[in-house]
Amino acid sequence: MTRRADDGSGIAPRKAALQILNSVYQERRMVSHLDAAAGLAAPERARAERLAQSVLRHTGRIDTLLSRYLERRPHPAVQNILRLGAIELLLDRSEAYGVVNAAVAIAKQARPTRGAAGLINAVLRKLDQEGPEIWTGLGPQTLPVWLRKAVGGAWGEAATRAMEAAHEAAAPIDLTLRDPSAHFSLGDRLPTGSIRLPRQTQVSGLDGYDSGAFWVQDAAAALPARLFGAVADQSVLDLCAAPGGKTLQLAAAGAKITALDLSPIRLRRLAENLKRTGLSAQLVTGDVLEFAEAPWPMILLDAPCSATGTIRRHPDLPFVKSAREVEALTKLQMQMIDRAVALLETGGRLVYCTCSLLPNEGENQIKAAVKRHPNLHVLPIDTTALGVDPAWISAEGGIRILPHYWADKGGLDGFYMALLQKR
Ligand SMILES: C[S@@+](CC[C@H](N)C(=O)[O-])C[C@H]1O[C@@H](n2cnc3c(N)ncnc32)[C@H](O)[C@@H]1O
């Protein structure tokens, strides 16, 4: 592959970062679906991705700051050059001369931004002098208006601010061990058993990676599969299984798993994960709403959701998701719960979970489900066995986790989970 070498002034990675930003903000595309930096050599590519992620993570705060220097909102491409320059000046504390020169040079290369080169020069120079103090005073603002309203309404202003701080702080890397009792010499072991490593850790280079002794999984995401307790030799239906973090946990605990997912591409990743870890499961490509094989003693439903609990890892998410999309997902989750209840045997247990901050995808789904199904009830959760704070148990009996929980340990992804039984 030909490499687009950086010309020494750092223009190439900055332009790639801007391409990522334009795609996320304007086309509402997730960073994971983009290859804007694909032609760059590894260090430039890493720089481009880091810059774009950093701008995405701080967009609300940058825009509030920039609005002080702009009479009206400029062309989106101009705004993105300003956002990038602001991050370099205020967060990276890069030398102003290089940052401003690069921003102006990039602006001059394209039609929609050419006329704004003077404005960009002036605003960034002012930001360099006045910005740092104002930046600190503004505080994190990571949620777009619609999501902030929903999150604030559910959890209150103080918790929402704490979540935004957790989003800005980003997430460490958590590992789940194939053998939870195994010794692991690196990182910290959380009370839940997950191993926590610094964000920059190159996981594929760690001892035990090739032999599949662990896999990357946020500590909160590692809890739902454990709600069943002992699963050895039991049949478990894992609905919405790919890429398979929870399938691996259940398989490692000795369950006989049938793992179903709609996406063949994601199921292929699950198959690769099983291969690396030496674990096995029966894989089925299919739609939960059409799956009819039954009955099952245990079903895990990790339903598709807004994924708003994972903003620490995916700062692009707030700009890609919409309130309307979440509404459609909420309806799908309800239909999936009904399907899962139909597939359960009498006495069988269902774990429902979502990585969402929104009660409509969590607590409210369970409250509504037990109303729709008088034969369904919520089972108590053994918080001591899980290693979680008993205060996380919600009113209807599930577990609610928000990103600022265990902030002193590095936070957690937002999650909701509940254990139910069919009578
Ligand atoms: C939250 S992710 C699952 C994560 C997975 N359980 C894990 O632990 O790695 C949701 C999954 O639901 C799948 N999905 C979405 N709609 C579906 C449907 N109608 N039937 C089956 N799977 C579906 C998606 O392809 C996606 O892989």
Assign domain 173-422 to a CATH class: alpha beta
pLDDT digits (tens, 9 = 90+) for 299-317: 999 999 999 999 999 999 9
Token pair belonging to 109 = 């290369």
Radius of gyration of the chain (CA): 23
pLDDT, one tens digit per residue, over 113-139 is: 999 999 999 999 999 999 999 999 998
Residue 304 C-alpha to ligand 1 middle, in angstroms?
5
Task: Please report, rounded to a whole number, the percentage of residues in the chain having pLDDT higher than 70.
Answer: 98
Decide: 304 in ligand 1 pocket, CB within 6 A.
yes
Q: Which ligand 1 atom is the nearest neighbour of the CA of 355?
A: 1
Q: What is the pTM of this model?
A: 0.94
Residue 244 sits at φ, ψ, to 5 deg, of 110, 15
CA 161 → CA 50, 142, 157, 168, 309, distances in Å? 24, 9, 6, 11, 14
Residue 75 pairs in a beta bridge with none
- Which whole-number Å values give the CA distances from 214 to 77, 245, 310, in the listed order? 42, 10, 21
Q: What is the pLDDT of residue 49?
A: 93
Which residue from 223, 240, 293, 314 has its CB within 8 A of the most atoms of ligand 1, so it is best to mutate?
240
Ligand 1 pocket residue status of 242, Cβ below 6 Å: yes
CA of 392 to the centre of ligand 1 (A): 25
The model's pLDDT over 202-235, given as tens digits with 9 standing for 90+, comes to 999 999 999 999 999 999 999 999 999 999 999 9
CA of 261 to the centre of ligand 1 (A): 6
69, with CB counted inside 10 A (0-12, 13-18, 19+), is middle
Domain ranges of the chain: 11-138, 173-422
Residue 261 CB–ligand 1 contact under 6 Å: yes
**Residue 306 near residue 252, CB atoms below 8 Å:** no
Q: For residue 198, what are the contacts with CB-CB under 8 A and spacing of at least 6?
A: 172, 173, 187
Domains 11-138 and 173-422 share a fold: no
What atom in ligand 1 is closest to the CA of residue 332?
19
Q: Is 243 in the pocket of ligand 1 (CB under 6 A)?
A: yes
Q: Please check whether residue 348 is in contact with residue 295, taking contact to mean a CB–CB distance below 8 angstroms.
A: yes
Atom 27 of ligand 1, nearest CA residue = 242
Residues labelled as active-site residues: 355
Contacts of 201 (CB under 8 A, 6+ apart): 173, 187
**Pocket flag, ligand 1, residue 244 (CB < 6 Å):** yes
266 CB near ligand 1 (under 6 Å): yes
- The predicted pLDDT at position 34 comes to 87
Whether CATH 1.25.40.10 fits 11-138: no
3-state SS assignment for residue 327: helix
Question: pLDDT band at 37, cuts 50/70/90?
Answer: confident
For residue 180, is the peptide bond before it cis, meaning its omega torsion is within 30 degrees of 0?
no
